[in-house]
Amino acid sequence: MAATGGSTKEAKPTLGGTKFKTRKRDEKVKLDVTSFSEQLIAGLRESGGNLDEVRRFLDNAGGQLDYRRYGEPLLDILVAGGVLAPGGGKVEGTAISPVSVFQCEPKVEAIRGHLVVMTRVLQRYKYLKKGLEDEMKKILKFLKGFQDSERRSLAIYTGLLLSEVLVPASILTSLLSEVLVKEGMSLQFVTLVFQTWLSEKNIGHVGSALRKAQLEARLTDFLPASQQSALLFDEHFSGAGLEVLVKYRRAQESAEKRRALKKELEELLDADSSSEEIIDRCQQHMDTAQLTDVDVTVLLWRCIMDSVEWNKKDELAAEQALKHLMDYTPVFLPFCVRGTPQLTLLIKMQEFCYDNMNFLKMTC
């Protein structure tokens, strides 16, 4: 057929009536949580409550039951005994397991067997570990929907999970929900968590986990708003037999106060502030932050010696250091009246000189 403009275009072929097949890997099979929970719980029932049998069943059933796709309902059932609906209730129409953490007596030894089961499941199916973290974050938000005995069992289980590092301490942030904190549930729950955790591990382990979760400075946040003070925190946890946690909180508070003073001293030194200004600021911190003369002396020494870029020639660096210290000697005087800060300062000077050998002759 002739076309205007002296050119011709061939008609493109069409695929009329052709049907495209979807590849199987692109097809999404709808989750059948009800069927999964029925099969899982049937297997758990056959165990007769024997946790060794439960462990063997779970170990072998992962391929058939597809834990990768049904990880959340699996963990719901192992912890709460059934698939959870928003708020903490069981999904209507789903089966209830005879074996779960919630059905355990709220005692460490009774619940430890469930920890062993979970540990084995995570060892075999490593992809469930992140799922367990998400599960615990979710389930802790639902505390209000559980019975008191269930909350107690869950708290002990949480403490055991934390002690074995199966979940990070960041899961505890779920307890900082306004409703849970206001009603005192967070405090009651976290107290039992810490009692369990510290019965298994020392405060160093607990402190490290809290630091990684950035919770070391937020411990008082678990108390109701009207009670969020260091004094009431110490009273509560001392009464719960957790003096070691109280000492940890005090140590963290003291460290934070020292960091605050250090930052201010660095700013004052950078600004070439007078000795009077530096002394006044240190005395303010001693009054408000309850720092000792030893604390202040150590901080002064570190900040003053870190505020200078030392000459690379040994003989010149030593002279520079002597002049620098002479300029700031008045700053130390109000805080080195007693023998203890005086001795501490001498030790810090020696340590500095031995760490920086070009200053060593200053001590001779």
Q: How far apart are CA 244 and CA 226, in angstroms?
A: 24
pLDDT in tens, 329-341: 999 999 999 999 9
Residues 6+ apart with CB under 8 A from 189: 140, 143, 151, 154, 155, 175, 180
Q: How far apart are CA 351 and CA 112, in angstroms?
A: 48
pLDDT in tens, 215-259: 999 999 999 999 999 999 999 999 999 999 999 999 999 889 899
Type of residue at 338: R
Q: Can you name the residues that pair with 84 across neighbouring β-strands?
A: 90
What mean pLDDT do residues 334-349 have? 93
Q: How far apart are CA 31 and CA 35, in angstroms?
A: 9
Evaluate if residue 25 carries a pLDDT over 60: no
Q: How confident is the model at residue 14 (pLDDT cuts 50, 70, 90)?
A: low
Q: How far apart are CA 40 and CA 61, in angstroms?
A: 8
Average pLDDT in the chain = 88
Contacts 24+ apart (CB under 8 A), 77-84: 77/37, 77/40, 77/41, 77/44, 78/114, 78/117, 78/118, 78/121, 79/135, 79/139, 79/154, 79/157, 80/139, 80/146, 80/150, 82/37, 83/33, 83/37, 84/138, 84/139, 84/142
Q: How confident is the model at residue 358 (pLDDT cuts 50, 70, 90)?
A: low
> Hey, what's the torsion of the CAs at 180, 181, 183, 185, to 10 degrees?
60
Q: How confident is the model at residue 70 (pLDDT cuts 50, 70, 90)?
A: very high
Count of CB atoms situated within 10 Å of the CB of 340: 13
Identify the three-state secondary structure at position 90.
strand
Q: Can you name the residues that pair with 90 across neighbouring β-strands?
A: 84
Q: Answer yes or no: are the C-beta atoms of 136 and 76 closer than 8 Å.
A: no
- Output the pLDDT for position 9: 55
Q: How far apart are CA 323 and CA 330, in angstroms?
A: 13
CATH numeric code, 254-363: 1.25.40
Q: How far apart are CA 136 and CA 291, in angstroms?
A: 40
Q: Answer yes or no: are the C-beta atoms of 171 and 158 closer than 8 Å.
A: yes
DSSP tag of 195: H
Identify the three-state secondary structure at position 113.
helix
Q: How far apart are CA 316 and CA 309, in angstroms?
A: 12
Residues 6+ apart with CB under 8 A from 220: 228, 229, 230, 233, 249
Q: How far is CA 233 from the centre of its chain?
A: 19
Identify the three-state secondary structure at position 21.
coil
Q: How far apart are CA 99 and CA 117, in angstroms?
A: 11
Evaluate if residue 1 carries a pLDDT over 50: no
pTM of whole model > 0.85?
no
Q: Answer yes or no: are the C-beta atoms of 237 and 245 closer than 8 Å.
A: yes
- Output the pLDDT for position 48: 86
Q: How far apart are CA 248 and CA 244, in angstroms?
A: 6
Domains of the chain, by residue range, sit at: 31-207, 254-363
Q: How far apart are CA 171 and CA 59, in angstroms?
A: 26
